[in-house]
């Protein structure tokens, strides 16, 4: 059995990237994620899979990610991780903290970091995730095409070599 995730590919033109202002509300602070945050990042992720926490942990350790933490409780409330392809990924905000612009803040930060590496900040958003599509558009990202991620379950195969 396999699954196919239809996604919209979006990136931000260089001229719009320069317009991203750094603004962080007083109640939160931005910090780099570390592997201790893997479970928090993985739990609400719609595309999680068996052992995906290990995958998320490796992305954080190898590629980097950023989170917004409440100053009052040190709770991680919003985050973004750079994927193995160098894209913006796993952008999420805890349900109690949506509609505050937190995802915009972490997305802007990682977009700037990716641009500093002479790469074009790019992300993929599920076609059903209208809120994320709107957030990316608000930041100046444009639709560049469609892509599909295919998840295959482990299969036992027999190869015959002649």
Kindly list the domain boundaries of the chain, sorted by start residue: 2-152
Residue 160 in tokens: 């015959």
State the pLDDT confidence band at 4, using cuts at 50, 70 and 90.
low
> 132 Cβ partners below 8 Å, 6+ apart?
91, 103, 125, 126
Closest to 153 (Cα-Cα) out of 39, 57, 51, 58: 51
Three-state DSSP at 3 gives strand
Residue 129 in tokens: 């995730």
Is pLDDT larger for residue 162 or for residue 77?
A: 77
Q: Which CATH class is domain 2-152?
A: alpha beta
Parallel, antiparallel, or unpaired: how do β-strands 28-32 and 2-11 relate? unpaired
Residue 127: per-residue pLDDT: 93
Q: What is the pLDDT of residues 6-52, one digit of tens each?
A: 888 898 887 777 776 677 899 999 999 999 999 999 999 988 888 99
User: pTM of the full predicted structure?
Assistant: 0.86
Which residue carries 């027999």 as its tokens? Answer: 158
Closest to 103 (Cα-Cα) out of 144, 75, 150, 67: 67
Mean pLDDT, all residues of the chain:
88
């Amino acid at each position: 059995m396999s699954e196919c995730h239809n996604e919209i590919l979006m990136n931000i033109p260089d001229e719009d990237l320069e317009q991203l202002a750094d603004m962080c509300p007083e109640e939160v602070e931005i910090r780099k994620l570390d592997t201790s945050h893997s479970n928090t990042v993985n739990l609400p992720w719609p595309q999680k899979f068996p052992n995906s926490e290990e995958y998320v942990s490796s992305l954080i350790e190898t590629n980097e990610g950023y989170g917004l933490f409440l100053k009052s409780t040190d709770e991680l409330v919003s985050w973004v991780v750079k994927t193995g392809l160098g894209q913006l990924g796993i952008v999420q905000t805890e349900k109690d903290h949506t509609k505050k612009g937190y995802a915009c803040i972490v997305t802007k930060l990682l977009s700037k970091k990716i641009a500093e590496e002479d790469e074009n900040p790019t992300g993929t958003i599920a076609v059903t995730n209208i809120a994320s599509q709107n957030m990316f558009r608000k930041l100046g990202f444009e639709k560049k095409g469609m892509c599909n991620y295919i998840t295959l379950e482990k299969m036992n195969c027999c190869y015959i070599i002649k």
